[in-house]
Chain A
Amino acid sequence: MSVMRFLPATRRLGLRARLTLIFALGAALLSAILSVTTWELTRENLLLQRLDAARQSAIANATFVSKELKLPRAADASNFEKLLTSLPTPEGAQPVISYNQDVGGKPAAYAKDPLQFGLNDLPEKLRVTVTSGQAATMRYYARKDNNPYLAVGIPIASSNASYYEAVPLQDVENALDGLGISLLGAAALTTLAGGLFGFWISRRALAPLTEVGTAAGAIAGGRLDTRLEVSGDPDLDTLTVSFNEMAAALESRLDRDARFASEVSHELRSPLMTLAASIEVLENSRDEMPERARTALDLMRADVERFQQLVEDLLEISRFDVGAITLHLDEVLVVDFVIQAVGAAGAGGIKVIYDEDVGEAVVRLDKRRFVRVIANLLDNAAKYAGGATSIQIQLASRNAGEGGQSHEVVRIAVEDSGHGVPADERTMIFDRFSRGGEGGNRGADSGVGLGLALVDEHVRLHGGTVWVEDRLDGKAGARFVIELPAVPESEPHLAEPVAV
């Protein structure tokens, strides 16, 4: 048998879980890339705008300051304040003017509002660069309050001074933080949506597989005519068509096998007919035969009967296989039926024991088939246990599954005084051609092992069960129990004759 492996052997998650996960991860990755890109571009853009504005403003203001510093009134410290205030700076910008060397008695640097922002609030590195005569731009966090700033420094060579302008970036940072949170939220939502979408897609995509599974289960359960509906989807139809072809092939093959068994059995009936009639003719002149010929005739008759039974059993089994059994159900008093069946099986001497309350119990069965069931159990006892010791009929009640409603059942138990059936053989014994483990205990008249299999099939077809257990009285021996649903008294009796 070859098993095609579609999936790695070490898989832990189901196909659906994996598809969901893949979709979720894909969505997460995609939204992460998009978010990061968006955030970066926005940040660049915002900063660049600020930088441009700050530069332009600083250059313009530095030019103006450079002119002012050359004027004599620049020596007056109070004029610096006026000058700094009058400069057209962008919103919140802090202008700072500083001399590169101490000018006797005068402060080295002037700021618009020295308490809030002074020279010391500019980074050392920027000041060094600008003092050395180079214009520079720098983004930094102020030491005092750890707020972000963008500072532009321009040297004013003519007065040996520097002009600085620091623009606060707090609003940009805030905007970027807000954007970051929004993007994160969006990414999380996208991931969730991706996962849900993956789950939905996988359900949709796997729905045909579920159907295939259900159909395969139905076929395994015996409904061989189960087929998948062709959907018209070219991708799926390859599977559907192959599956249906496989199911059809399986069905016709099983059908052929069963038909073959049935044909063979029918073919065997003609020679058996000749044999049966010929044996009867011989029987009629039995008295004129020598002793040896009579013995031979007895042997022949016994085996022709056995052969007949075998053919009947095979035929019946093949009918089960093609599902060609039509029961002719009758409602019978179970005690009556069992007594008649025991008589018909030529075992009239066996005790039939029943309680008074079983006397009125009615079961629904195919009389001609069920008489074989009783006969098979009696045959089985005769072959393996020296004959049945008794048949007991009892009423019991059984719970009908979840409903918790119990219904009446009738148990027909055939007991013998043989060696019993070991616990591990109690299921197998009902298989076809099984003979149990105690092969040695069998008489010369060994059966073919179809008897109990037929009992099992028939009882199940009648909605009952059959099992074997130890004798209830503790003595050695087997107890074969058939359980059939009792027909409730209240239930309306069968309508038109069923046997047509």
Chain B
Amino acid sequence: MGTRILAVEDDERIRTAVKMALEDEGWVVEEADNGEDALESFSRHPTDVVLIDIMLPGIDGFEVCRSIRRNSDVPIVMVTARADTHDVVAGLEAGADDYLTKPFAPKELSARIRALLRRARTSDPGISHLKFGDLEIVPEEGMVLRDGQEVHLTKTEFRLLVELAASPGRVFSREVLLERVWGYGYFGDGRLVDVHIRRLRMKVESDPANPRHVVTVRGLGYKLQT
């Protein structure tokens, strides 16, 4: 059974064309033309990736995103018509893992999906347990504990944390993180990193406004420390 993609798009022609193109890439595509149907379909069928157009009639893409995030860490790719508005940041804040701007090439979408589905890895597979003060990471089980309590991270947040944890104290530039976590090249959007770092801090930091573990290094990037 192939990887199942739920494509939420209200424009029938776009939906049909994108579905065909994605099927050619080997994905199994489930369709929904509005937010309600999307949530309904998501709750009934096992889904590996969700593709959501932000501009939906009724419940909009942000809300669908948030509803799914409430009880799932499934990778979500958001589709927006505007790359430089607040839509992108708002979508990422709502829980999306990546975004694409219309019109995009379905092959590019496939590449994004593949990058999101990659398993988290550490540079040294021998490491099975990492501890940073009150923070514990168990890469093999995909688990993060804060003060012994399990913290729920999305797949992308987890991979970001593991990348940083692989070399504690080392500063990672946004470009490096974009490349390692999202598979983007030189021209990736740094906002992806920034928003995911914010989301990560909300979950792993006891005081997200004054982070102790996931620290910003002015002008250079981010690092993880004890």
Contact = CB atoms under 8 A, between A and B. Distances in A.
A331 B18 contact: no
Contacts of B13: 271, 274
Interface in A155-169: none
A189 to B, nearest CB: 68
Nearest to A284: B24
Interface stretch (B66-74, B144-152, B162-170, B212-220): B212-220
B-side interface size class = 20 to 34
Contacts of A271: 13
B194 A281 contact: no
A365 to B, nearest CB: 12
Contact of B14 (A274, A337, A340): A274
Given A269-B103, A270-B11, A308-B103, A331 B219 contact: yes
A344 B187 CA distance: 9
A494 B218 contact: yes
Contacts of B187: 340, 344, 367-368, 371
B20 interface: yes
Contacts of B186: 336-337, 340, 344, 367
Interface of A: 266, 269-278, 280-281, 284, 308, 319, 325-326, 328, 330-331, 336-337, 340, 344, 367-368, 371, 492-497, 499-500
Contacts of A371: 187
Contacts, number: 94
A343 to B, nearest CB: 8
B131 interface: no
A367 B17 CA distance: 31
B87 to A, nearest CB: 12
A284 B17 CA distance: 13
B130 interface: no
B84 A281 contact: no
A499 B190 contact: yes
Contacts of B102: 269-270, 272-273
B38 interface: no
B24 A280 contact: yes
B191 interface: yes
B202 interface: no
Given A270-B11, A495-B218, A276 B174 contact: no
A278 B17 contact: yes
A362 to B, nearest CB: 10
A288 to B, nearest CB: 13
A281 B23 CA distance: 9
A493 B218 CA distance: 7
Contact of A273 (B82, B89, B104, B174): B104
A276 B191 contact: no
B80 to A, nearest CB: 10
A371 B188 CA distance: 12
A280 B190 contact: no
A326 B84 contact: yes
B107 interface: yes
B105 interface: yes
